[in-house]
Structure 1
Amino acid sequence: MGTPKSPRFYAAVAVLALDSILVAVVIYRVPYTKIDWDAYMSQVTGFLDGERNYEALEGDTGPLVYPAGFLYIYSGIQYLTAGAVFPAQILFGLLYVINLGLVLWIYTRTEVVPIWGLMLLMLSKRIHSIFVLRLFNDCIATALTHASIVLFLKKRWYLGLTVFSIAVSVKMNVLLYAPPLLLLLLKSLSVGGVITAISCAAVVQLLLGLPFLLESPMAYISRSFNLGRVFIHFWSVNFKFVPEKYFVSKAFAVTLLTLHLVLLFVFTKYKWLKHEKAGGIKLLDKKGKPELASNHILTVLYTGNFIGIVCARSLHYQFYSWYFYTLPYLLWKTTYPTPMRLVLFAVIEVCWNIYPSNVWSSVSLLICHLVLLYGLWIAPTEYPYVKQVAKKSKVR
């Protein structure tokens, strides 16, 4: 993490060490809350007993709705823990520390967030709960996503796409990163390279899902990649102020999807491609493309994912893990004064810790999201490439 013996490196190590101790305390002192663990184990047991039809794999919370990577990973967890909660908490505690280590490595590759700001990454009560008191599969998908981002920063695009695809196979929300990631691929690789990278990701999905595709392809695809799934209004943290009859309506879903696509288009054209004189389409013709700067990679990925979060119809409590670790970076990419950044960070955290969520908490969360998104829109746009970066001035 960072250059050895640099202040940022030592700060990252200190945060990792302190949070490791905190995780151990949480595991040993805070009671476990059963939510999805028994359902996970039931679904895994059905798979291990030989069932390959996704429509027959269910738990006490309903049918299996995650891709095949989820089953393989939780089968391994069941083998290691015999299905017992406490050893699973220890495993997830290790996962938490590994994930935080990956995040700190990412943050030490840029100087956007001040050194003291790294401490924010260990201050979320909800994130600790999601990892070691709930054992959600979101935790595994999040850690794999951060591992793929590490590889992207190292310009290991093919391997990164492979790991990214494995993350998708655990939980489909990782696809929120797909549109900005495609843009980065077009900026970095030739047409053949982009096709190869995407093919690596597709092969992973095919191989992992093959046993289920051979048994009942429609059942597997419709259950594990259901883009039209409607979440229960009660559990939503955002848009709780929208009456349930409108919340579950197709019109509301289409409106949010349209807004999502429009925001991605606007940010792509006016922010992420601002320095490419040739324009987005002609990116396909460029050869010998210059190396992308780490700041640009993170800005595009994190902002693209955040746009998806803003436009998500329903965010359940475990979904906070999808974007919490990006918040310090995104807040410091804005030009807001530091006190305002900290207030936004704190209010977002408070909103995610109010249970059950209510009209005021969901409105507050939406306002914070929109304020942050606006701050990202008006922020200076960094020069995207390593070459000549020192010669280019920031532009709005």
Structure 2
Amino acid sequence: MAAATKKIREKLSPSYWMRFIFDPMHSLPALLLLFIAELAVSIFVIWKIKYTEIDWVAYMQEVEGVVNGTYDYMELKGDTGPLVYPAGFVYIFMGLYYVTQHGSNIRLAQYIFAALYLINICVVFQIYRQTRKVPPYVFFFMCCASYRIHSIYILRLFNDPVAMLFLYLSILCFINDRWSIGCLLFSLGVSVKMNLLLFAPALLFLLMITQGTLGTILHLTICALPQLLLALPFLLVNPKGYMVRSFDLGRQFFYKWTVNWRLLPEDIFLNRSFQIGLLACHLTALLLFCFFKWKKLYPGVKLSLWMKPLNFKNLHPIHILSALQ
């Protein structure tokens, strides 16, 4: 009786419940509650907030060209311009094209993207749970507190969520020492949207120290093969057109779509010198990260073109996440 009373008092004490808010080792109940809340919020957004058309119709027009037998990337386009995404995008959105009655069933597409969002947050939750460093209350700010994240997934139907799901799945594989599967998933993400290549330098660094030079070459081959196989129907028709369109590093972006650089006048944003300067700053930042942040995560590591795999079997997930941030 005394033991039962003690247990009841313990569960009624503030310290017992506070650990479900602040203790990373007790995050699962909070994550379950957040998932249920996100499910409800997603349904509410679909029914109560007006859908905004930006790219969905253009996506459907672009893949409709492939459905109609056009495999020349220079001929594929929509209302917003030419098709500028790699082949993985075409296959995935072609599937959505058929499922949503040629893209006309917007409500069904929203439910599909809501499901995609819920899967995405589950993967992200699991990534951070495995670090055992993130207190449960932080997860609230990753999902429920963000209007923009719901907008991107459910109200805009952008292709970014599809690419990011592959990225998060690949990171989950990396922190569980599944580098081959992770590289495959990363490549599939790149095949949806080229933006994921921004993570490639950090991934290359991680591959070099964990797999060595030969292992890195093998894993880069794993990254390259899906790109080749998915793009093959388009490469056979117009290889130059495919590369120019889907991996156009010199593409000019429209000022009206920028968010981060809205503070600048349009003429500066469109100026080629400004864009080259941004690229130079990015490359400089990568070098600084490599020598002053990434190397500090792995003391004693000497980078060279020829490296043997180091013994990082017990590599903590936080080290991998810190490199990929």
Same fold (TM over 0.5): yes
- Give the structure 2 partner of residue 66 of structure 1: 85
User: Residue in 1 aligned with 2:55?
Assistant: 36
Structure 2 counterpart of 1:60, one-letter code: D
Partner of 1:269: 291
Does 1:247 find its partner at 2:269? yes
Of 222, 225, 232, the residue aligned with 1:210 is: 232
**What does 1:6-17 correspond to in 2, within 5 Å?**
7-17=26-36
Q: CA RMSD in A?
A: 1.6
Matched residue, 2:186: 164
Distance 1:24 1:140, change over 3 A: same
Letter in 1 for 2:303: G
Identity among equivalent positions (%) equals 42
Rounded to whole Å, the distance in 1 between the matches of 2:96 and 2:305 is: 47
User: 5 Å matches for 1:327-338?
Assistant: none
SS in 1 for 2:130: coil
Q: Which one of the candidate residues 206, 213, 216 is aligned to 1:194?
A: 216
Question: For structure 1, which segment, 93-102 or 233-242, has the greater mean C-alpha deviation from structure 2 after superposition?
Answer: 233-242
Q: 2:156 aligns with which of 134, 155, 169?
A: 134
Q: Which residue in the other structure is 2:127 paired with?
A: 106
Contact 1:187 1:283 in 2 (8 A): no
Partner of 2:116: 95
- Cα pair distance change 1:129/1:278, threshold 3 Å: closer
Residues 199-238 of structure 1, C-alpha deviation per residue, up to 9 Å, x if partnerless?
A: 0110000001001100001110000001111111122111
Match of 1:37, as an amino acid? W
Deviations 1:63-87 (A, max 9, x none): 1000010010001111212121111
| Counterparts in 2 of 1:129 and 1:182: CA distance versus 1, 3 Å | same
Whichever residue aligns with residue 133 of structure 1, its letter is L
**Counterparts in 2 of 1:365-384, with a 5 A limit?**
none
Match of residue 279, structure 1, among 302, 305, 323: 302
Is residue 188–residue 292 contact of structure 1 (8 Å, CA) maintained in 2?
Answer: no
| Aligned AA (1:44) | V
CA distance in structure 2 between the aligned counterparts of 1:153 and 1:289, rounded to whole angstroms: 11
Query: Radius of gyration: which is bigger?
Result: 2
Structure 1 runs of 4+ off > 6 angstroms? none
- Pairwise CA distance, 1:282: 7.3
Q: Which residue pairs with 1:27 in the alignment?
A: 46
Matches within 5 A, 1:283-298: 284-298=307-321
**Cα pair 2:210 2:309 within 8 Å, conserved:** no
Deviation, 1:292, is 2.2
* Pairwise CA distance, 1:278: 4.4
Which of 281, 300, 307 pairs up with 1:259? 281
* TM-score, with structure 2 as normaliser: 0.88
Name the counterpart of 2:15.
Answer: none
Q: Counterpart of 1:232?
A: 254
How far is the alpha carbon of 1:26 from its aligned partner? 0.6
**1:116 has 2:116 as partner:** no
Query: Which segment drifts farther, 124-133 or 233-242?
Result: 233-242
Residues 19-42 of structure 1 deviation map (CA, whole Å, 9 limit, x = unaligned) = 111111111111111111111111
**Structure 2 unmatched runs, 5+:** 1-23
Q: How far did 1:241 drift?
A: 2.5
Give the AA of the match of 1:204: P
**Is there any run of 5+ residues in structure 1 with no aligned partner, and where?**
303-396
2: CA distance between counterparts of 1:38 and 1:227?
Answer: 24
Instruction: Give the secondary-structure state (helix, strand or coil) at the position aligned to 1:273.
Output: helix
Partner secondary structure for residue 41 of structure 1:
helix
Aligned-pair CA distance for 1:246: 2.1
* CA distance in 1: counterparts of 2:301 and 2:52, whole angstroms: 54
- Deviation (angstroms), 1:242: 2.3
CA contact (8 A) 2:210 2:310 kept: no
Report if aligned partners of 1:67, 1:171 keep a CA contact under 8 Å in 2: yes
Q: TM-score, normalised by structure 1?
A: 0.73
